[in-house]
A and B are shown apart, each in its own frame.
Chain A
Amino acid sequence: MTRLLVTVSTRKGLWILEADARRRAWKMDGPHFLGQTVHHAVVDPRDRRTLLAAVKAGHLGHTVFRSDDLGRTWEESSAPPAFERAPEGQPGESVAHVFWLAPAHATEPGRWYAGTSPQGLFVSDDAGRTWKAMAGFNAHPDRRKWIGDAQDAPPDGGTLHSINVDPNNPRHIYFGCSSGGVFESRDHGATWHPFNRGCAADFLPDPKAEYGHDPHCVRVHPVSGDVYQQNHCGIYRLDRARGRWERIGRHMPLEIGDIGFPMVLHPRDPETAWVFPMDGGTVWPRMPIQGKPAAYRTRDGGATWERQAKGLPPAQAWYTVKRQAMTADALDPVGLYFGTTGGEVWASFDEGDSWKCLTLHLPEIYAVEAALAG
């Protein structure tokens, strides 16, 4: 029987929501890692039973836990992601936390990538048991120039996130750095280059800066390889033929704008995507515009957008949906899920046309992922 799992990673633990393919009755498993921050928890779509979780206690170093039975039992990584040791007498970097976990290509079972704060890229070839630094980025001579220093980082520290592998080429990888921009490798991570042409960076003096951007969430379509991003400065789609990003967020309603954190792609149709706009005015409240939460869906690659708020609070809802806290399942019709900083998980089983609340009262939600298992 197909099991649908939704992992809910929070500031103080991990919960796993489960339903069958009809998505009518849900049960909740957890907490796992109670009291510890879980930045991301991801089921391996290649075997549908391995689950990795990025964990950090408030007063201890970070680590990665893995499970071969979808969270019934956990094993800690024996070598969590860590930067190379600096030469004697030179300052070195330390991973503050693992922010993002991503399985590699379908043809590379057991291979995973991890992104960290500060911005570092790591790889595991044994399903998360051990990790090693990817020198192609971490030791790149331009890395410091690309990502800046602490003054360029968000308040919780810079992050490397949105690691995506081209479904048609396992050696072609993308990720986002906040700050830093979108980066691309075509040689399995050996070399990287910034890929931000056409993307705005209103906070940089050079409007055509090559790097230093803030991509909140980058998604690669799992079939076509089309690339979208919700950026600090708008919603974009990559025009591969022209080698530049096009601001499809210009077609959003003016009173809503195109600022937000997550972006979700339809698992089969590369023209369909969702965003969850946030107020990016004045001091960047980063909450639903006027306290009225809504998703926006495009069915035509960003040329038009429609508001999807049925079932959501009509007013006075003041929360943030973080960049990794909205996702889709692979069922038909597609199910959508988002978690809020107020500890609510909302779902739609009709591709965003209507929403219902699955659970309340969880800690601040950092990440939501859906997966089929069994």
Chain B
Amino acid sequence: MKVLLPTPLGEYTGHRREVQAQGATLAELLGDLDRRHPGIRFRMIDEQDAVRPHIKIFVNRVQARSLAIALADSDEVLVVAALSGG
């Protein structure tokens, strides 16, 4: 399915903002994304499987509150990195 990424993660994808990844849940999708682009998951998700501060993940424009939510192939996942500080 389509995954849209913020520019701060561009180093992991050859600066492509739109990439593909697969998974029946958001957790599986992020795992597949990390296999395709090693290191990208840890900069969004911490070691306790929590979404990091300043990162938000939306599925079909609805904020995902859990990595366990189910996904369909037609879904669109959007990752937002909120800039903060000066």
Contact = CB atoms under 8 A, between A and B. Distances in A.
Contacts of B82: 59
A83 B47 contact: yes
Given A58-B83, A59-B54, A59-B55, A80 B42 contact: yes
Contacts of B49: 85
Given A76-B39, A78-B39, A80-B42, A60 B52 contact: yes
B41 to A, nearest CB: 9
B74 interface: no
A198 to B, nearest CB: 37
Contacts of A93: 48
Interface string A53-70: 000011111010000000
Nearest to A92: B48
Contacts of B38: 78
Nearest to A35: B8
A82 interface: yes
A60 B81 contact: yes
A59 B48 contact: no
A95 interface: yes
A94 interface: yes
A80 B45 CA distance: 13
Contacts of A61: 42-46, 52
A92 B38 CA distance: 24
Interface residues of B, number: 22
Interface string A89-118: 001111100000000000000000000000
B50 interface: yes
A66 to B, nearest CB: 13
A91 B47 CA distance: 11
Nearest to A56: B43
Contacts of B6: 59
Nearest to B50: A94
Q: Which of A59, A86, A95 has the most CB of B within 10 A?
A: A59
Contacts, number: 56
B14 interface: no
B84 A58 contact: yes
Nearest to B52: A61
Given A76-B39, A78-B39, A59 B8 contact: yes
A59 B47 contact: no
A63 B39 contact: yes
A63 B41 CA distance: 11
Q: Which of B8, B44, B48 has the most CB of A within 10 A?
A: B48
Contacts of B45: 61
A202 B48 CA distance: 36
A60 B47 contact: no
Interface in B24-49: 38-39, 42-49
B3 interface: no
A245 to B, nearest CB: 35
B48 A85 contact: yes
Contact of B47 (A57, A76, A95): A95
Q: Which of B8, B43, B45, B84 has the most CB of A within 10 A?
A: B43
Given A58-B84, A58-B85, A63 B42 contact: yes
Contacts of A58: 54, 83-85
B44 A60 contact: yes
B9 interface: yes
Contacts of A82: 42, 46-47
13 contacts: A57-B43, A58-B83, A59-B84, A60-B43, A60-B52, A63-B39, A82-B42, A83-B48, A85-B49, A86-B48, A93-B48, A94-B50, A94-B52
Given A58-B83, A58-B84, A91-B48, 7 more contacts: A59-B84, A60-B9, A61-B43, A63-B43, A82-B47, A94-B48, A94-B52
Interface of A: 57-61, 63, 76, 78, 80, 82-86, 91-95
